[in-house]
Structure 1
Amino acid sequence: MTPNAETALAEDTQAPVGPDGTRVRLRAEGVRLGYGERVVVDDLDLDVLQGTVTAVIGPNGCGKSTLLRALGRLLRPTRGHVLLDGRKIDEMPTKQVATVLGLLPQAPTAPEGLTVGDLVARGRHPHQAWYRQWSGDDEEAVAEALAWTGISDLAERPVDELSGGQRQRAWISMALAQGTDLLLLDEPTTFLDLAHQVEVLELVERLHEERGRTVVMVLHDLNLAARYADRLVAMKAGRIVAQGEPADVITEPLLREVFGLEAKVITDPVAGTPLVVPVGTR
């Protein structure tokens, strides 16, 4: 955990804990979310526990990305609240949130010609102020983030010239330089081939295991979600249908209910996690 995150947690004695005593980093309490008059998510409760990787799954249009936007303070609930370490996230200063929580939107874009090094350096903006400009600590954080994601040799390359997998590594590197210990990823494997999907998710797994990041990500591939997440949250029509460990969520009745999919669930011979073998749709 970063010093900033440790300070934020230490200062907040009201942060809730889950049933097993684990700290709740993000909590959605009875949230209603939508765009204009259209309600997408309604009366939803969710706890994101410290030190977990949570994958949100569900059919297109069920509210997965909308929920992630609310957890990242990009969308304000019309009812209910989102709490970050026990505090209402929409009442916290923007810079304070940005030193604790990082959000990578679906298919992020960078200005034309922006280099990888400059993109990653933007992750240090929350730590800047009129009395504290770019410093050696910032330089070190950027260099470490580039090295940790294996793209130091790409620092001078324009982001728009990278392959899809390299581009995702660059964006994750920016989030790493930001120094947050809570990371939200909206479909980080979109438009990537299978090899690069696995590459990105293995990087997320390392972020969790070696750097202690708490991660929430939206994924479409059920088998990858079951393999790389500790907890799954299954959504349908703006509501949570099931949540828990992958083996408890990925079941044949749930696949039928949530996705309208007839499938067999077997054990992944490599990871030992649930493996969905489709039979067909209803």
Structure 2
Amino acid sequence: MKSLQAAESARLRANQLRLGYGDRLVVDGLDLDVLPGTVTAVIGPNGCGKSTLLRALGRLLKPRGGSVLLDGKRIDRMPTREVARIVGVLPQTPQAPEGLTVADLVARGRHPHQAWYRQWSADDEAAVAEALRMTRMTDLAERTIDELSGGQRQRAWISMALAQGTDLLLLDEPTTYLDLAHQIDVLDLVQHLHAEAGRTVVMVLHDLNLAARYADRLVAMRDGRIVREGSPAEVLTEELLLDVFGLDARVVPDPVAGTPLVVPIGSRHRS
């Protein structure tokens, strides 16, 4: 049972959430509080409902039951523009029109602030410039998205979310298809955004060791339910890894970060 204080202070709150596609129920009766100023990583095996949960938190998927609260208000009853000014969502495989430049992509993040009586302004220009600066994309502003490396593309999409002026970011597997160096680059950027402006971040990650390094809290899911949540040390135990992932592993201190480090055993080294 969540404490009343945690529920009242949560930026996002899932309450008895039921989610699915067609005849298939993916998430059933899920409760989750995302506290302000935290970085939360959702982990779990493929098909457990991680991305589905993130889509519901960002109002991209309508719940079959339960509710999602954003700053205490039901997100499905809030105006779309209001939600877009608060929550920035980066889907798993975002697509941009062919030939679109980085600057044009990032400028699209200002759409929630536009109206028939308020067109492009100096404030919009400043917001785009600041988003490019924070993601180190200023020098690439006139490049097309097609020309960029995988890591640069991810930074461009994060720039667009930042240009929205949101302080709550939902990132669905932001390191997918990236080599390890670019994974670190993107997660360093996320950590910088969190540290510099206190942004609240929820991200789905597959790499357990990177999740432990970069997140304040981990949420472990299996079969559409939360099995355990808490600090990386509280969640990443050898018992949980076997139970949730079917993974026989040892958990030792990361020699660099001091966070839990998952070392799979595998049949070759099993005694």
Task: Identify whether the pair has TM-score above 0.5, normalized to the shorter chain.
Answer: yes
Please state how far the C-alpha of 1:280 moved relative to its aligned partner. Answer: 2.2
Q: Gapped runs of 5+ residues in structure 2?
A: none
What are the superposed Cα offsets for residues 125-167 of structure 1, whole Å, 9 maximum, x if unpaired? 0000111000001001101111111111111110011000000
Aligned pair partner of 2:145 in 153, 156, 159: 159
What are the superposed Cα offsets for residues 100-149 of structure 1, whole Å, 9 maximum, x if unpaired? 00100002110000000000000000000111000001001101111111
Cross-structure match for 1:77: 63
Aligned pair partner of 2:190 in 185, 199, 204: 204
Matches within 5 A, 1:1-282: 19=5, 23-280=9-266
Cross-structure match for 1:10: none
What is the alpha-carbon distance in structure 2 between the residues aligned to residue 243 and residue 204 of structure 1? Answer: 21
What is the alpha-carbon distance in structure 2 between the residues aligned to residue 18 and residue 208 of structure 1? Answer: 25
Q: TM-score, normalised by structure 1?
A: 0.92
What is the alpha-carbon distance in structure 2 between the residues aligned to residue 20 and residue 27 of structure 1? Answer: 10
SS at match of 1:261: coil
Q: Gapped runs of 5+ residues in structure 1?
A: 1-15
Maintained 8 Å contact 1:181/1:214? yes
Q: TM-score, normalised by structure 2?
A: 0.96
What is the alpha-carbon distance in structure 2 between the residues aligned to residue 134 and residue 18 of structure 1? Answer: 42
Letter in 2 for 1:168: Q
What is the alpha-carbon distance in structure 1 between the residues aligned to residue 243 and residue 193 of structure 2? Answer: 33
Please say which of residues 230-239 and 19-28 is displaced more in the overlay.
Answer: 19-28
SS at match of 2:176: coil
Maintained 8 Å contact 1:22/1:49? no
What are the superposed Cα offsets for residues 246-268 of structure 1, whole Å, 9 maximum, x if unpaired? 00000000000000000000000
What is the alpha-carbon distance in structure 1 between the residues aligned to residue 251 and residue 208 of structure 2? Answer: 11
Letter in 2 for 1:206: H
Letter in 1 for 2:35: L
Maintained 8 Å contact 1:29/1:82? yes
SS at match of 2:266: strand
Maintained 8 Å contact 1:116/1:170? yes
Please state how far the C-alpha of 1:19 moved relative to its aligned partner. Answer: 4.0
SS at match of 1:99: helix
Letter in 1 for 2:222: K
Letter in 2 for 1:90: D
